[in-house]
Amino acid sequence: MHPRVRDERYIAWLFLLPNFLGFAVFTAGLVLFSLIVSFSNWDLQRTVPFLWIGFENYLELVRDQQFWLCFINTLYLMLGMPVAIAGSLALAILLSQKLRGIVLYRSLFYLPSITSSVALMILWKALYNPDFGPINAVVNTLSKGLGLDVQAPQWLLSTANLLGLDVEQVRITAKQFGLGTCDALITMGIWIAIGGNNMLLYLAALTNVLQELIEAAQLEGAGKWSAFRNVTGLQLAPTTFFIVVMSFIGGLQGGYRIGTFLLRQFMLTILPSLDEAAKIDGATHWQIFWDIIMPLSRAGLITLAVFTFMGNYGSFFWPLILIKSEHLRTLPNGMLYFNTNSGAGDTLRRGERIV
């Protein structure tokens, strides 16, 4: 191996070392520990003698009907994932055009992703209100105008769903067909996801699509759809694969972070010729990093810092679960309890019950 290539690998591992150690200790280590103790009877307390019981925990889980009901509900809620991904791609293509005010449009579409979850719950709770919500008002108006006898859905008050899944047993029943809570949550999730992180990932990936290949395809007689499918789509395939995998994981676990991938996409926009020119001038790896990579990455780092700040600033669920003292509540939780306890937050109380 050439000494220069070996040195570059050492430098790369040195940069990866802090993140790798954090992953090994706080993620991989804990996952491995959880896997090991899952074959025992340990319940985090010393109530019974410690014993290795093999696959008994997993067998008990599989035999529990409640597990399968929760599993089916999770899969049902993930049905909106393909629509959200396709919508994110379409929106990213529209927002990648060079138009006046495009930055404002991007900000407006991403706004729901950084809005406090409490505010979003209150908004959608009001929209889905079966008595005076605007969605049912439109449904009732259209049904009367068309002379149809259509009953507006009860949304968050109903357990009905489009597949007719029973909520007590693993089966399909005719009485469960309709629109209910799960469908309302899917619609809300699609609305948030289309202009969210997936859109940002596609926007970052579209900046790396070689326009020369698209122009060459058009010169060969390819139409816009053919050029998109055979050129742009293929170059977006790694990003699409990442989004699909992480969306699936997020659907099972409740979310994921995109910081590393977003910065990677941004780094790909930095011309490799700058790095080569600096090496020719005798710059070291550290000089290249501090004098070239860091200044050019300023916009990406600022963007990631803003997203991280907004994500932690508007965090609602973890403080709600973990914090018991009213003196330690974060702003979203404090606003919720303030309005609830003041008697002026009936809508907030209903939103809290959803959480």
Q: Which two tokens stand for residue 93?
A: 């293509």
Q: Is the dihedral of CA 261, 267, 272, 278 positive or negative?
A: negative
- Report long-range pairs for 125-133 (Cβ below 8 Å, ≥24 apart): 125/156, 125/347, 125/350, 125/351, 125/354, 126/347, 128/155, 128/156, 128/184, 129/155, 130/154, 130/155, 130/157
pLDDT value of position 77: 85
The closest of 306, 293, 305 to 266, measured between CA atoms, is: 293
CA dihedral 285, 287, 292, 294 (to 10 degrees): 90
pLDDT score recorded for residue 25:
86
HEC readout, 55-107: CHHHHHHHHCHHHHHHHHHHHHHHHHHHHHHHHHHHHHHHHCCCCCCHHHHHH
Tell me the CA distances in angstroms from 198 to 63, 230, 241, 242, one per residue in order.
37, 21, 11, 10
The whole-angstrom separation of Cα 107 and Cα 310 is 14
Looking at residue 351, what is its pLDDT? 40
Structure tokens at 34: 């959880």
Residue 70's nearest CA partner among 180, 170, 188, 159 is 170
Count the alpha carbons within 13 Å of 112 in the hemisphere toward its beta carbon. Answer: 16
* 84, amino acid identity: A
Angle at which helices 117-127 and 134-145 cross, to 10°: 20
Q: Do residues 310 and 114 touch, judged by C-beta distance below 8 A?
A: yes
Among candidate residues 75, 310, 109, the one with its CA nearest the CA of residue 193: 109
Q: Are 262 and 200 in contact (CB under 8 A)?
A: yes
Token output for 76? 């049902």
Q: Mind spelling out the 3-state secondary structure of 112-160?
A: HHHCCHHHHHHHHHHHCCCCCCHHHHHHHHHHHHCCCCCCCCCHHHCCC
- The pLDDT, as a whole number, for residue 338 is 52
Indicate the SS3 state at residue 345. Answer: coil
| pLDDT tens digit at each of 355 positions of the chain | 566 667 677 777 887 788 788 888 888 888 898 889 889 988 777 777 888 999 998 898 888 888 888 888 888 888 888 998 999 999 999 988 888 888 888 888 888 777 766 677 788 888 998 888 899 999 989 988 888 888 889 988 888 889 998 888 888 988 899 998 889 988 988 888 888 888 888 888 888 887 888 888 888 888 888 888 888 888 888 888 888 887 877 766 544 455 666 666 666 677 778 878 888 888 877 787 788 877 877 777 777 676 666 555 555 554 555 455 555 555 555 555 554 454 444 444 444 444 3
Name the phi and psi angles at 180, rounded to 5: -145, -150
Cα separation, 21 vs 350, whole angstroms: 43
Residues 317 and 117 sit within 8 Å (Cβ to Cβ): yes
Residue 239, phi then psi, degrees to nearest 5: -65, -40
Enter the pTM of the model.
Answer: 0.68
Q: What is the DSSP string of 219-261?
A: HTT--HHHHIIIIIHHHTHHHHHHHHHHHHHHHHHS----HHH
- Distance CA(51)–CA(48), nearest Å, equals 9
Which DSSP letter does residue 291 get?
I
Q: Which of 257, 267, 242 is nearest to 196 (CA)?
A: 257
